[in-house]
Chains A and B, each alone.
Chain A
Amino acid sequence: MGHPSKNKKDVRSSILVVPYRRIDPRSQPPYLFPPYRLTISRAPRKPLIVLPHTLSEVTGPVFGHEEVGETDNDLTRQHAGEPLGERITVSGRVLDGDGRPVPNALIEIWQCNAAGRYRHRIDQHHAPLDPNFTGAGRMLTDAQGNYRFVTIKPGPYPWENHPNAWRPSHIHFSLYGTAFATRLVTQMYFPGDPLMPFDPIFNSVRDERARQRTIAKFDLNRTEPGWALGFRYDIVVRGQEATPFERRK
């Protein structure tokens, strides 16, 4: 194989791996949730194998400003004209479980337009596309973990899960965080949406308090008078175990 032979003891002493905290399964949806029909053919049935964190899991892709355009966080300025719909801002902080900000983290969002249609070949919903709206944005969090997107409020739309099924308005969020172990993809809902109680995807998170954490908060202070309503959505990704140094504190 051509690997240089190494004194194993040296390898051991030079590598410090600080594992991430295990995720409490009650905070998460299961893989198999039959009311969301497609999980029946796609959820694994065998138990997962618990992977002790190695260098492979505590490292992950690092993204830079070269991958994020100046206006990528403003979904209303990506075309010649403005998209139709209720203009909003969605802002918040990305924190770890210890309340520490996660800086320089890539956040990507995607959503349908105000009429409930995605700009995607497989979305056949009978609603118009908006020539001024793509529905995708991205940015990096700042040093304090802050982010802010400008967009329009996405509409609800029907889907084929069960008769008269409608998805509540939502924005998809994707985050890499600091490691393979901190990857998070989620959906943000809007407060007071009457469709939430009927939505199997929203309800796949069985814990009521955990479910509430996926709903943004309307924030009058973040509303820009005469221009856009403001919503706040803080995101919490897992934190690391204390390092040997921190433990002494």
Chain B
Amino acid sequence: MSAGNKSAKTLELTPWCTVGPYFAICVTTELCIPQIAKPETKGERVRLICSVFDRNSECVPDTLIEIWQANADGKYNHPADGQAKSVDASFRGFGRQVTDLSGACEFETIKPGRVPGPRGALQAPHLEVGVFTRGVLKRLATRIYFAGDAANGECPVLALVPKSRRATLTAQPVAGQPGTWRHEIHLSGPKETVFFEV
């Protein structure tokens, strides 16, 4: 396929703009979704605490965090996933939630299974993450992996990230609280999280 193959009717994209400070009036009860997995959802339970920080390591409240993930078998609840695996009827795989005054928010979910990546090589279990806040003009796309998962070493997407920065994509288990994971997102600064051009 050549780049010059574009038809004359190709339309130019609408530009992004910041969500600003007040989007939370839109994230109402039905569409504020901290509980990604229901009690009956199959899979290893995960309580995920996300915290957001700016360039000066100050916490960032009023930030929208969105999560998109596969189910425990590594199947997305979406028509574009043609894998011969079953969806879990209790599991859409989507959550969104706003950070509190300490810049943190929590999700209840399950650890996703592995899904195929570039050229069919399996990716390690991961969550797709979008970060939206005032002062950020377009979504910051990142991922959350799980520390200690044996598959991390062979994930074709993690392999694209310089070794020294991979830890910024990895949630850490909280000592003494089985199933609880903590993840810090640093928008900028010395601990800047890896963000992707999607």
Contact = CB atoms under 8 A, between A and B. Distances in A.
A155 interface: no
A12 B119 contact: yes
B137 A39 contact: yes
Contacts of B136: 31, 39, 42-43
Interface in A177-223: 178-181, 183-187, 201, 204-205, 209-211, 213-214
A164 interface: no
Contact of A56 (B70, B79, B135, B188): B70
A42 B25 CA distance: 22
Contacts of A9: 120
Nearest to A207: B15
Contacts of A41: 54-56, 58, 135, 187-188
B6 to A, nearest CB: 9
Contacts of A181: 198
B17 A214 contact: yes
A143 interface: no
Interface residues of B, number: 85
Nearest to B124: A1
A247 B1 CA distance: 7
A186 B17 CA distance: 4
Given A44-B192, A54-B118, A61-B68, A29 B83 contact: no
Contact of B26 (A48, A61, A138): A138
A136 B150 CA distance: 44
Contacts of A42: 54-55, 60, 133-136, 187-188
A49 to B, nearest CB: 5
A244 B198 CA distance: 21
Given A42-B136, A51-B198, A62-B78, A110 B16 contact: no
B116 A236 contact: no
Main secondary structure of the interface of A (DSSP, over half): loop
B40 interface: no
A122 B21 contact: yes
Contact of B135 (A36, A110, A187): A36
- Which of A44, A48, A213 has the most chain B CB atoms closer than 10 A to its own CB? A44
A15 B137 contact: no
B103 to A, nearest CB: 12
Given A3-B114, A58-B80, A134 B54 contact: no
B49 to A, nearest CB: 21
Interface in A140-189: 172, 174, 178-181, 183-187
Interface string B111-137: 001111111111100101010111111
A27 interface: yes
Interface string B1-42: 100010101111111111111111110101100000000000
6 contacts: A9-B120, A44-B187, A61-B68, A110-B25, A120-B25, A236-B12
Interface stretch (A81-89, A91-99, A224-232): A91-99
B160 to A, nearest CB: 6
B10 A180 contact: no
Given A51-B157, A56-B76, A59-B68, A27 B15 contact: yes
Contact of B22 (A46, A123, A214, A247): A123
A46 to B, nearest CB: 5
Contacts of B116: 11-12, 15, 54-55
